[in-house]
Amino acid sequence: GLKEKLLAALRGGLKTVLIPKENEKDLADIPANVKRNLEIIPVDMIDQALEYTLTAKPTPIEKVEAKDVEAMPQPQADDRRSGLTRH
């Protein structure tokens, strides 16, 4: 549970941990020394977690339509160079 994960984080030398907002109620069961030595941040959505964990906002990649991509030929099972093995 949450208690074990927070204890492991503390033993591992972490200073800040993110927990699901819905687990915030479980903090009542966590020893005071663990809460005192960790910055525990409850988050609702993955977007919030990413704000804390990423050093820079990701740059979106250009969307490529499937029709714009050339199909690659499929390797044949009999072709030893393909690495495929027929069973």
Cβ–Cβ < 8 Å for 18, 41: yes
pTM score of the predicted model: 0.63
- What does the chain come to in residues? 87
**Cα–Cα distance for residue pair 27/3, rounded to 1 Å:** 8
If you ran DSSP here, which 8-state letter would residue 83 be given? T
**Cα–Cα distance for residue pair 19/2, rounded to 1 Å:** 8
- Residue ranges covered by each domain of the chain: 1-57
Q: What is the pLDDT along the chain (87 residues), one digit of tens a residue?
A: 999 999 999 999 999 999 999 999 999 999 999 999 999 999 999 999 999 999 888 888 888 777 766 777 776 666 566 666 666
